[in-house]
Amino acid sequence: MILRRTILAASTALAAATVMTTPAAARSRTGAPKRLGALHMAPAREQVAALRQGKISSRDLLEQYLQHIATGNPALNAVITLDAAGARAAADKADRHLADTGKPIGPLHGLPMTVKDALETKGMRTTCGSPDLKDHVPAEDADAVALLRAAGAIIIGKTNVPTMCADLQTSNPLFGKTSNPYDSTKTAGGSSGGPAVSVATGFSSLEVGSDLAGSLRLPAAYCGVYALRTSRGTSPIVPTRGHIPRLPGWATSSDMLSLGPIARTADDLDLLLDVLAQPAPADRSGWKIALPAPAKKKIGQYRVGLWSDDAYCRVDAGTRDLMGQVAAALRKAGASIDDASRPVDFKDSDLLFTRLMYATASATATEESFAADVEAANKIPAGDPAGLYLHSRTMRHHDWLVADEKRRQLAAAWASYFAEHDILITPATPTAAVPDQTSVPAPQREIRVDGQKRGYYEQTSWLNLTSPIGLPSLVVPAGQTEDGLPLSIQIVGPYLGDRTVIAAARQIVQLLPPVQTPARKR
């Protein structure tokens, strides 16, 4: 755990430097009293409140962030592009606005944030970890980034991703590997590895991650933070235009992609969800999104489904124990527990998702490479498991329509389940963070579950139960291994039940022992 000790030492030094600020410097650039202490490590809601109340200026808070990134990021490599000058100018502008008008720009007024390097950011290099995009500086923001700016957020820089978001760990030829903040030998997960590490270690209190096949929730689980894959029906509740790997300039994105908030608390998820849950710009003149209130006020009133393990994707002993602890805590709180009913067949759902994922990933293939895939697929007999990837990637439109109909039927099965249940709780992953395998060729990668060899991509099997039909799915840090690695659960709700899963998470964590995150240890 050398990395963890290094980060903690750097953070201790930073906190000491902040507390020892002289009285003259302890006033903001607008003349208001400045709160002493490392405010950047506080929840986002507390930071926003301090900014509005004049306890600290945006510029002073930004300087705390920049100093913390300078001391802590070299060991982690989470923040890979930094625009300190642009952030300082934006923070000063936010401070002037508040001083002149007395009113905040929006709910994130003056709050410094990092942004995933898959989201196009105006005037700031956005590469998605690809050498082909190493010099790409967008002329406009992704829709989600535009919402952050409109809410008053100050964009500090970009956080690391695997090349074109196409791996379950975070490394690329441009910027290298992002390390897990708990143990440098373990993966931070992918593709939102940089964002999850940034939030876990206090480089940002909030982030926006993207999730097609667990890319938002897997890193959150491995790094001990909260993450919400937001609802997605025929359209997402968070606009996705400007997300790469759809190529720069494309107006569309994957039909299963969802964006969502990453935070250190459930309350902060709610804060960012309010900012992000908006129709796409073209629809805003006639549409609005009003997410329903939580299904129940108290966790003891919830009808809880519990899916603790499954023969299709076994979890390890530590994860089973955690699920048992969660079930016991909920029963003690008075919640109704159903651990027998299942909304869908795990294997059938996973196969359908896999086929649709391979199909949607083909959109940006070149004409030449797609033609080669078609030729190769035609040489593999139909039904041969070896042809799953190529047959799915090159499926005819008729076959896609049939698969899409099965997806709608799957959604109906989930809807029937949630007519009888308020939430479903599952494991987030089969194990805690697995060893980093950046140097291992993809076909040779594996994970171990209770000592048994398992497929590398089984890390996201539980997460992908909800991916094809876009249900709100929230990863919650709920326990720890003996080695101190975080263990997480997943809370799933009905379509548009995003506030229900956040409310449930907020109350469930109160029933469990506190989880020590890198930020909390500081």
Separation of alpha carbons 301 and 288, rounded Å:
30
Burial 350-375 (b: 16+ CB within 10 A, else e): bebbbbbbbbbbeeeeeeeeeeebee
Q: Are 305 and 338 in contact (CB under 8 A)?
A: yes
CB atoms within 10 A of CB 522: 18
User: What integer pLDDT is reported at residue 516 of this predicted model?
Assistant: 75
Same topology between domain 2-20+39-282 and domain 299-364+398-521: yes
Residue 209 bridge partners (DSSP): 260
The predicted model gives 234-242 an average pLDDT of 96
Give residue-wise pLDDT tens across range 439-484: 999 999 999 999 999 999 999 999 999 999 999 999 999 999 999 9
Would you place residue 139 in the very low, low, confident or very high pLDDT band (cuts 50, 70, 90)? Answer: very high
User: What integer pLDDT is reported at residue 493 of this predicted model?
Assistant: 98
CATH 3.40.50.1860 holds for 299-364+398-521: no
DSSP-based three-state secondary structure for 68: helix
Separation of alpha carbons 220 and 459, rounded Å:
13
Give residue-wise pLDDT tens across range 324-347: 999 999 999 999 999 999 999 999
What does the H/E/C string look like for 86-97?
HHHHHHHHHHHH
Domains of the chain by residue range = 2-20+39-282, 299-364+398-521
Give residue-wise pLDDT tens across range 263-300: 999 999 999 999 999 999 999 999 999 999 999 999 99
Give residue-wise pLDDT tens across range 461-473: 999 999 999 999 9
DSSP-based three-state secondary structure for 448: strand
CATH 3.40.50.2020 holds for 2-20+39-282: no
User: What integer pLDDT is reported at residue 37 of this predicted model?
Assistant: 63
Closest CA to 95 of 122, 63, 127, 66: 63
Give residue-wise pLDDT tens across range 293-306: 999 999 999 999 99
Sign of the torsion formed by the C-alpha atoms of 185, 190, 195 and 199: negative
User: What integer pLDDT is reported at residue 519 of this predicted model?
Assistant: 56
pLDDT above 70 as % of the chain = 92
Give residue-wise pLDDT tens across range 13-35: 334 333 323 223 333 333 343 44
The predicted model gives 416-426 an average pLDDT of 98
User: What integer pLDDT is reported at residue 8 of this predicted model?
Assistant: 41
User: What integer pLDDT is reported at residue 9 of this predicted model?
Assistant: 41
User: What integer pLDDT is reported at residue 515 of this predicted model?
Assistant: 82
Give residue-wise pLDDT tens across range 65-89: 999 999 999 999 999 999 999 999 9
Residue 81 bridge partners (DSSP): 158
Arithmetic mean of pLDDT over the chain: 92
Is the pLDDT reported for residue 238 higher than 80? yes
